[in-house]
Amino acid sequence: MHLQESGEMYLETIYVLSKKLAAVRSVDIGDYMGFSKPSVSRAIGLLKNGGYVNADADGYLTLTDAGLEIAAKIYERHTLLADLLVAIGVSRETAAEDACKIEHDISDETFEAIKSHARGKEHAE
């Protein structure tokens, strides 16, 4: 199953929230993303059916290995791209918004080249 951008966003949100909260629930995702309960419920259902998310009897959500792999990849893209944009003079808010747009469409090849370039700059300082 190929994930849509929205599915990747949900996985990334669960990933981010799991770093801040002891347990992640659908209501936490809705609050964080500003989405309605029915929208979140539908998306989580699709992600569960796709094998990306598990829910326990209490409604606490965890990423499967496949979900974690995608979420970590998207999160890495987001943070590196946002930091790079800030480094070239873009405001933190705009950088975060633009990184969010770019992170889903950029090819692996281009992202790896950006990552290598950014690491090269870090080592040069």
Entry pTM: 0.86
Neighbours of 43 (CB within 10 A): 23
The single-letter code of the amino acid at 100 is C
Given pLDDT bands bounded at 50, 70 and 90, which one contains residue 125?
low
For residues 32-56, give the mean pLDDT: 95
- Tell me the pLDDT tens digit for each residue of 62-109: 999 999 999 999 999 999 999 999 999 999 999 999 998 998 889 999
| Dihedral (Cα; 53, 65, 11, 24), 10-degree rounding | 60
